[in-house]
Amino acid sequence: MRENGRPVTLFTGQWADLPFEEVARLAAGWGYDGLEIAASGDHLDLERADQDDAYLRSRTEILDRHGLTVSAISNHLTGQAVCDDPIDFRHEAMLRPSTWGDGEPEGVRGRAAEDMKRAARVARRLGADVVVGFTGSKIWPYVAQFPPVPASVIDAGYEDFARRWNPILDVFDSEGVVFAHEVHPGEIAYDYWTGVRALEAIEHRAAFGFNWDPSHMMWQNIDPVAFIVDFADRIYHVDCKDTRLRRPDGRSGVLGSHLPWGDPRRAWDFVSAGHGDVPWEDCFRALRSIGYSGPISIEWEDAGMERLHGAREAVTFIRSLMWPVPEASFDSAFGNQ
């Protein structure tokens, strides 16, 4: 059941190995209001949805059958290829064949940009107001600043982002849809200052905002509550994923040491919402304070927990944070003595 008008949705990206109908059935049974549909697997083929009315209806019919809504769709994987340099085997593994094509890098970037425009059109036809995703980044490989990187190279990276994304955002504007960029390592905006610079690069146009996912902030020592307050007018979507930080042992660093998820030697790990160190209550109070009324989506990732258990438990945990707000200030009664 919805509380305060905000639907609680399940992000389907980690469930793309299951048929869309099965994910919808599971989510409805667990008490979710809707889905943040990933353009992955058979969940949502953007090219078909943009051209085939019957296919698009098949998606909405599945949602209707299970009493679910869609407030946002995700095109993370394709968005990554818009600005990335290099384009390589990693992108080939996650892009649809029609986007990868012959693998020539600039061709891949161009087709990825067209698919992001397509995502805006499909979102509008589905009745969703937000597309969530990544941007990619020409300059992420230089994050360590060694070998030394001239400031001109970093400047050129933000110029490249603006050049590639402004035409995409033009389509978002024409469709009345916004793009919620997930602040995430590997992207043009991965923390507070890079978020500021990304907005400056596109002259703060309204079509571009942020998907607030605290899990990627925690291990970078970014305050997820402060991020909400600082970007109050740019929080366009919320993904709830948690991060568990381990006590420093003098061996493990924040870069992960090339250790796999779930390895106890890591300094941090993604965990199901409520099992990590995200200050969830403070975060939800901050979201209320800025007037956020959009979807609250649960992104389930936890190498140490079975996902059927985790997704069911997470929706209960997140709903426990969504209590009604008072209609009047608690101290207003003091004037009625």
Tens of pLDDT, residues 52-104: 999 999 999 999 999 999 999 999 999 999 999 999 999 999 999 999 999 99
The answer as to whether 295 is a domain residue is yes
Residue 111's nearest CA partner among 47, 37, 39 is: 47
Tokens 């995703």 correspond to: 133
- Antiparallel, parallel or unpaired: β 268-271 and 296-298: unpaired
pLDDT of residue 303: 97
**How confident is the model at residue 143, as a pLDDT?**
97
Domain contains 202: yes
Q: Are 315 and 32 in contact (CB under 8 A)?
A: yes
Q: Is the dihedral of CA 299, 112, 228, 256 positive or negative?
A: positive
Q: 130 lies in a domain? A: yes
Give the count of domains, the chain: 1
Cis peptide before 147 (omega within 30 of 0): yes
Decide if 146 is inside a domain: yes
In a domain, 281, yes or no: yes
Which structural domain, as residue segments, surrounds residue 39?
8-329
- Establish whether the linkage from the previous residue to 86 is cis, with ω within 30° of 0: yes
Q: Provide the 8-state DSSP code for 180.
A: E
Asked, for residue 304, whether it belongs to a domain, the answer is yes
Q: Look at residue 3 and tell me if it is in a domain.
A: no
- Contact partners, residue 74, CB within 8 Å, separation at least 6: 11, 12, 13, 36, 37, 38, 39, 40, 131, 132, 133
Does some domain include residue 2? no
Using only C-alpha atoms, the chain has a radius of gyration, in whole angstroms, of 20
pTM reported for the whole predicted model: 0.96
**Bridge partners (DSSP) listed for residue 298:** 10, 240
> For the residues of 181-249, what is the DSSP string, one character each?
EE--TTSS--SHHHHHHHHHHTTT-TTEEEEE-THHHHTTT--HHHHHHHTGGGEEEEEE-EEEEPPP-
**C-alpha span between 218 and 284 (Å, rounded):** 16
* Average predicted confidence (pLDDT) for the chain: 96
Residue ranges of the chain with per-residue pLDDT less than 50: 1-2
Q: In CATH, what number is assigned to the domain containing residue 151?
A: 3.20.20.150
* pLDDT at residue number 330: 62
